[in-house]
Structure 1
Amino acid sequence: MHEKRIEIRWRDLDALRHVNNAVYATYLEEARDEWMQRALGGAGDLWDYVLVRVAIDFRRELTQDDDAVLVRTALTRIGTSSLTLREEIVKLDGTLSAEAESVVVARDPATGGSRPLTAAEREAYSAALEP
């Protein structure tokens, strides 16, 4: 499982002084992009993927007082052209703030449609697949 520490920025807060729900998606994206880059290595181009689904279950609010969060990303399924990821946003004290599931699809830049994962991509992701 990949883990990325992200500082909570003042601009992440809304009028109620907690992290806005839309910012959770940004935190997930930052960690997901870093995970994909590391998992993929030289086997492909990160720009050849598009997010097609994200579902977030909010568990506990985040505030500026939390200072930072840990965002965890793990690959749970490899499809023909897609990857399914399990993601978590956790406070530094270990409290679960949000759980998410994301699906990214390999994209053919010429057609804009999905494409099958290449053998090199599949091998790279297989090495990162969580049991």
Structure 2
Amino acid sequence: MGVFYATVWPRWSDMDSYRHVNHAQTITLLEEARLQLLYGEGARHGADLVDGGLVVARLEAVYQAPLFVNGNPFRVGMSISRLRVADFTIHQEVHCGPSEGDRVGVVADVTLAPYDLENERPRRLTTAERDFLASWRSGGDEGV
């Protein structure tokens, strides 16, 4: 499938004194975009990653341009850059606006691990989860 695109809307309260989206709010917007992929699209394909429990193991965000709160949404492209037995990494690019040609403001790599809520411990990805995630792979190391 390639790249999944989500649309996220910044809120007035996301803005700092420079009219930029605040760092902490940027992380929240990244999460909102991931939920569209993992919960919305994932649920449609029988891979209920969010419902089964999922934790952020690592998050790295690189800011390349300011994200302004100006009444427009941001376009977020996402693909799976690493897929292993018990975790995966989503590569996210937040565009400064809603259009394909808008420049990229934030690039993030987020490693997520499935979590068994009932037994309170990490777990392996199911076959359905791995198949769904593999359909959004962009390359990188496959892992084990």
The equivalences for 1:76-95 within 5 A come to 76-92=81-97, 93-95=101-103
TM-score, structure 1 normalization:
0.88
The SS at the match of 2:59 is strand
Task: Please say if residues 27 and 71 of structure 1, whose CA atoms lie closer than 8 Å, have aligned partners that are also in contact.
Answer: no
Task: Please say if residues 66 and 91 of structure 1, whose CA atoms lie closer than 8 Å, have aligned partners that are also in contact.
Answer: no
Of 25, 36, 59, 1:54 maps to 59
TM-score, structure 2 normalization:
0.81
CA–CA separation in structure 1 for the residues paired with 2:96 and 2:18:
19
Unaligned 5+ segments in structure 1 are none
The equivalences for 1:97-116 within 5 A come to 97-116=105-124
Q: Percent identity, aligned pairs only? A: 24
1:74 is the counterpart of 2:56: no
Higher helix share: 1
CA–CA separation in structure 2 for the residues paired with 1:81 and 1:13:
36
Task: Please say if residues 96 and 104 of structure 2, whose CA atoms lie closer than 8 Å, have aligned partners that are also in contact.
Answer: yes
Q: Please give the root-mean-square deviation of Cα atoms over the aligned residues, in Å.
A: 1.8
**1:66-116 residue CA offsets vs partner (Å, 9 max, x unmatched):** 722111111111111101110011012511101000011011123322111
1:44 is the counterpart of 2:48: yes
Show structure 1 runs of 4+ deviating over 3 A: none
Unaligned 5+ segments in structure 2 are 140-144
